[in-house]
Structure 1
């Protein structure tokens, strides 16, 4: 075997091994319970979608309990037809303003989805939670989740530290980004006129044009009436002349 052929085979083997590691890593990551936010902007309302891609070592999932960070006060779960949903509350040491003239005296500690029929290991489901994010850009919000199955359970509760390898059972988390500018502060640009656009007509000009059109129409009617009367008069004159000749 030539050295060139050996080098080619070695390069191919290394590339195949690297691709295998990448695919294995992607597969392992997709096997976790994950969270996908509709937005991560600090201070905004978001919908967090928690995905459950498999059971516990082949066993069907019976419930998923998602814990809320302490910064989260109120949560509105989306109804999932295949699951019962329950909010477990925790009393606050100090009431918090709810922004509507009242106060929160307790917060949502956990949201628990319980399967009406166990979710088979080979099927995926997702749960949506609507909530308001804290106004702390850069903050990391961790949502530990306990997945219970017909046989056993999986605690997705290990915090992924910055710069460290991902743990075996990482807890879902998001990192808040800078707050978005208020929508009402945006200025709507004026439309750009085009060559095909018809010029606007002022109300006074439109009224004048209408009056002129009416006057022109009236004059036309009078002119046609005069022509008709003239034709009738000419016909009457011819008739009288013919009669006078017959009489004479």
Structure 2
């Protein structure tokens, strides 16, 4: 069996989990997703981009690394799918309880994928708690063709770059799972959803807050105030564009929430302004607070904290609108 030179384009896999680097832009295989989180399920879609030296691909094999468990392949018309099982180094939590053995390799064979066509090979797996955010998990891939093959299985040593390897295995970056979305809060006829705020730099005296309120009743209500433990007071502001200039103003008398309507306070529009901060809210934290309504009264809520400049809860940093 011929193994092509590492000067050929690299194969980049992923269990729906891979980071596709610029150097792998012309890879033989690619995966849809670039990141994985611990204790979560992933749908791996291996995309084979072309064959070996012009000849068709006849076999694709993916090695499931230690700590990725419960792997199951999807059948593929025209191809035979086989798995190799073995014991894990320790027991892991899987989809259906604790497991100590499982699929180590998935192979699709017997088909013929022409060099000028692409196709996908799919499986489902679970990333266990063996990996902490910041780690990289490597998935060796073997692509065999009518003539020749590609084997991408080299794993970098500590401090070594994958670019220095002749045949690097594709890797997945482990990231922390997004925080669970808080359950809506009911207060009479009002439903309060996604209270959140932006983190602030040290020394800042104001912070923006946001929330969605739906009135399911027959009587109007009005949001008249807000509070958090870190702020001297909370007020409601509006933001408008006048002559190309963005202006912010205090909403006198509160913000109406009419029957059957949803009012959303969000960046660039109506928003809460927490003033006289005694500390700096940090991204990823939760801040206890409350919203006060004319009819529903004062309702305890928990504000999740997004990064500085975020445009939505759980989003990355963005612009600087309140």
TM range (shorter): 0.5 to 0.7
> Helix, strand or coil for the counterpart of 1:191?
strand
Give distance in 2, aligned partners of 1:76 and 1:172: 20
More strand by share: 2
1:198 to 1:119, Cα distance in 2 relative to 1, 3 A? closer
Q: Judge conservation of contact 2:60–2:108 (CA < 8 Å) in 1.
A: yes
Work out whether residues 28 and 51 of structure 2, in 8 Å CA contact, stay in contact via their aligned partners in 1: no
- 1:33 touches 1:156 (CA, 8 Å); kept in 2? no
Residue 30 of structure 1: SS of its match in structure 2?
coil
Pairing 1:1-248 to 2, within 5 Å after superposition: 29-37=25-33, 40-92=36-88, 94-98=90-94, 100=96, 103-116=98-111, 118-135=112-129, 136-159=132-155, 163=161, 165=163, 167-183=165-181, 185-187=182-184, 188=193, 189-191=212-214, 197=259
Deviation at 1:78, TM superposition (A): 2.1
| Residue of structure 1 equivalent to 2:275 | none
Alpha-carbon distance in 1 for matches of 2:24, 2:72: 30
* C-alpha distance in 2 between matches for 1:144 and 1:164: 13
- The equivalent of 2:11 in structure 1 is none
Count of residue pairs brought into register by the alignment: 172
Separation in 1 of the partners of 2:260 and 2:90? 64
- Which structure has more helix as a fraction of its residues? 1
Verify the 8 A CA contact 1:32 1:170 in the aligned structure 2.
Answer: no
The structure having more radius of gyration, on CA atoms, is 1
How far apart are residue 28 of structure 1 and its match?
Answer: 5.8
Q: CA RMSD in A?
A: 3.0
Structure 1 gaps of 5+ residues are: 1-24, 200-248
More divergent stretch after superposition (133-142 vs 66-75)? 133-142
CA distance in 2, matches of 1:107, 1:73: 7
Question: What is the TM-score normalised by the length of structure 1?
Answer: 0.58
Q: Given that residues 53 and 123 in structure 1 are in contact (C-alpha distance below 8 angstroms), is that contact kept between their aligned partners in structure 2? A: yes
Unpaired runs of at least 5, structure 2:
1-20, 185-192, 194-211, 221-255, 262-322
Q: Provide the secondary structure at the position in 2 that maps to 1:82.
A: coil
